Structure 1
Amino acid sequence: MNKDITIVPADYHFEIPEEIAKCPYCETKLHVQVHGWTEEDDGWVADSIEMVCESEPDIDDDAWDDFNESHSEMPYVYLLPVQNTVQEWINNNFRFDMEQ
């Protein structure tokens, strides 16, 4: 295994460094949790992630509708490339302990 790989629990909450990626809509910090894994020769890697923008209000908040509208424009153009970059960064630097 690569000596730079960090083992984290499957329910680990990632705060993505801004030099790796930011929200493509408002450029704030992203938070990620993994919801699907694939077993590779050197451990478990992410194959399904959920990204949340740090500026996302509570769904009951009056600002939710504006946030949702501004953060859902053309996701395959704006969001998917960022999601792919984040997942690649996670898989290049982390493996998941499925026992924890």
Structure 2
Amino acid sequence: MTVYVDDMQAKYRRMVMCHMLADTDEELHAMASAIDVARKWHQKPGTPHSHYDICMSKKAKAIKLGAKQIGRKEVAELVNKKRLVSLAIFQLFQCEMSRVIERNESYFFGIDYATRPDITTVSVFKGVGPDITFDQIQTDKVNSALAVAKKSPQARIQFPEHLAPIPIAAECPICGKPLLLNAGEGCEQDANGEWIATEIELLCTSEPEFNSPDWDDWYRWHYSMPYVDWLPLEQRVLRAVRKKYFFRVD
């Protein structure tokens, strides 16, 4: 059982509290039950931040039962690991569903721990209605990728080119509207042989249709000083893309 208690000492009424976290919610709830903490005190279920707030006496019990003491840095690393695994699963599902649609087939995924970031295995089924059947090949494929994601949470994931342009957490430096990302037109191999981006394209969601009478004015407004307005942002996004994604080059 991999359960953690941090070094936070937050006062709550007459108690001093800390966080109790775990690699999976299953382990977290098992420890909570073992130290007599009710399930109703579970905080942020279904997210990478899933935890219990426990008092010092409960912390001591948890440590006796094998919980590991960690600091703020380790807490952040644990939460980030869960977030990355969850993202890898999401990207994998998106890729698989795209291939399914192209083949005019229907799949759905049965998850052992419903829509939580601590997913351990996935079952894949094919078909619709009474014709649903278990697909062992796709199940093995998804679980193999999931295992890699769990062992190497810092590893790059494949860029979902079939979904591009994809939304990103950045705003247009001119009008503040959300941006979309295209990448993969230019790539190079890194020292490990993975293909990573050398250039990207950022698209503002406020852009009108090219044939629209408003397009020329929009373009002049947005790109009057591209090296001042856009280049710093593009460089930051490119660094993030190179760290996060790899590309398939045929």
Asked whether 1:40 is paired with 2:190, we answer yes
Q: Distance in 2 between matches of 1:50 and 1:86?
A: 10
Q: Distance in 2 between matches of 1:68 and 1:33?
A: 18
Of structures 1 and 2, the one with the larger relative CO (CA 8 A, separation 6+) is 1
Say which of 142, 159, 164 aligns to 1:8.
Answer: 159
- TM-score normalised over the length of structure 2: 0.35
1:71 deviates by: 0.5
1:48 deviates by: 1.4
2:175 alignment counterpart: 26
CA contact (8 A) 1:11 1:33 kept: no
Q: Which has the higher helix share?
A: 2
1:12 deviates by: 5.4
Q: Distance in 2 between matches of 1:54 and 1:10?
A: 18
Q: Distance in 1 between matches of 2:226 and 2:219?
A: 12
- TM-score normalised over the length of structure 1: 0.82
After superposition, the Cα gap between the structure-2 partners of 1:23 and 1:32, relative to the gap in structure 1 and judged at 3 Å, is same
Q: CA RMSD in A?
A: 2.0
Say which of 79, 83, 97 aligns to 2:230.
Answer: 79
**Which amino acid is 2:175 matched to?**
C
- Specify the SS of the correspondent of 1:81: helix
Asked whether 1:61 is paired with 2:212, we answer yes
1:98 deviates by: 2.0
Aligned-pair identity in percent equals: 29
